[in-house]
Amino acid sequence: MKNALLKTSGLIMIALVIFNLFVMISGIVISDEINAFEQKADKLHKINLTLEKEVASLSSLSFAQIQAKEFGFTNSTAPQYIGELKYAKN
């Protein structure tokens, strides 16, 4: 009876050690995948910041002014308001 109990407890301990190793190895693999995803997210964040800066510069008034000079629109005109009398008549 004692021998059977010792053998089964030994087998249970070996099974628990093997299960513990499996859990530890799978945890290491998952942590490597998480690390890779975090690195990809950081790269995407940096790319997103550069694209945001580029969009902001392209939609700015200074860029519009530079493009206008490039295409020959150098004359500045006074703004026309609808509230003026000559436009209000029409």
Specify whether the CB–CB gap between 57 and 51 falls below 8 A: no
Residue 56 inside a domain? The answer is yes
* pLDDT tens, residue order, the chain (90 aa): 778 888 899 999 999 999 999 999 999 999 999 999 999 999 999 999 999 998 888 888 787 888 888 887 777 666 666 666 665 555
Whether 54 is covered by a domain: the verdict is yes
Give the pLDDT score at 32: 96
Residue 32 lies in a domain: yes
Query: pTM to 2 decimals?
Result: 0.54
- Residue 73 CA, chain-centre distance (Å), reads 39
Residues contacting 87, CB < 8 A, separation 6+: 80, 81
Whether residue 59 contacts residue 52, with contact meaning beta carbons closer than 8 Å, is answered with no
Q: How many domains does the chain have?
A: 1
**Per-residue DSSP letter, 59:** T
* Structural domain harbouring 28: 2-76
Instruction: With beta carbons less than 8 A apart as the criterion, state whether 39 and 31 touch.
Output: no
